[in-house]
Amino acid sequence: MRLQGKVAIVTGGGSGFGEGISKRFALEGAKVVVNDLVDTAAGRVAREIVAAGGAAHAVAGDVSKDADVSRIVATALAAYGDLHVVVNNAGTTHRNKPMLEVAEEEFDRIYRVNVKSLYLTAKHAVPHFRAKRNGVFVTIASTAGVRPRPGLTWYNGSKGAAIVTSRSMAAELAKDNIRVNVINPVAGETAMLAQFMGEDTPEMRARFVATIPLGRLSLPSDIATAAVFFASDEAAFITGACLEVDGGRCI
């Protein structure tokens, strides 16, 4: 098992990509702290991991709030005595629409969740990582941050910021043997899909899938496979990398 003995926090782990990452990490031997804004969602995923023979602990919390992120990291250390990996997966978007129709409140929430959360998880996890000179951050960003499209302007910008922030972290933290890498998924079979497309209809899906050379949307398992690699010791000499898991959409 590629993550045997590691303790990982997965934010937004109660559904979608985060759920897939949480469950795959557990299968690979990690002890997983499943965070989600919705406590019942985090609890369900943690229970399913335990029922399957893995180790998991649920903790509700808003990744855009300092006190909540502090509690998430403290929970991992209290429950398992260590922390090796933080997967910054929690994210949000606005519905596909013209940029000037996005309310200021929506804009602020997108940047709090998609960008500020990276600052907060670093604030609370880096001191522990530095003390033992080892640690991993994996940012789940988006192809929207490298190949933006109309209708999601402010979401695109937040993911671009998450990518650059993560790479900047990688440059600064490398001296402490802390690695930071980025995964850029194309839109997948998750609850956010309708937001990205504006509406979830067979016609809209067909139009979207037609832009992906490999001919399908991403799956949580696709993103989880990449996250396992970055979290594992196999990627010990990789930092600041951005991996598009997108079926070729960014070609």
- Whether the pLDDT of residue 192 is over 90: the answer is no
Token look-up 């031997």 returns 29
126-139 tens-digit pLDDT = 999 999 999 999 99
The model carries a pTM of: 0.96
- Whether the pLDDT of residue 16 is over 80: the answer is yes
**pLDDT, averaged across the chain:** 95
Q: Evaluate whether 26 touches 55 at the Cβ level (below 8 Å).
A: yes
Q: Please name every residue paired with 167 in a beta bridge, in sequence order, or none if there are none.
A: none
pLDDT band of 194, cuts 50, 70, 90: low
Q: Is 80 a catalytic residue?
A: no
Q: Evaluate whether 65 touches 121 at the Cβ level (below 8 Å).
A: no
> What average pLDDT does the segment 58-65 reach?
98
> What average pLDDT does the segment 86-115 reach?
96
Comparison of pLDDT for 186 and 208, the residue scoring more: 186
Of the candidates 80, 111, 119, 155, the residue annotated as catalytic is 155
Q: Please name every residue paired with 31 in a beta bridge, in sequence order, or none if there are none.
A: 7, 55
Token look-up 């994210």 returns 91
162-171 tens-digit pLDDT = 999 999 999 9
- Percent of the chain past pLDDT 70, that is, above it, reads 97
pLDDT band of 205, cuts 50, 70, 90: confident
pLDDT band of 197, cuts 50, 70, 90: low
Token look-up 């992906």 returns 212
Distance CA 89, CA 26 (A): 16
Domains of the chain: 7-188+219-245 (3.40.50.720)
Distance CA 92, CA 90 (A): 7
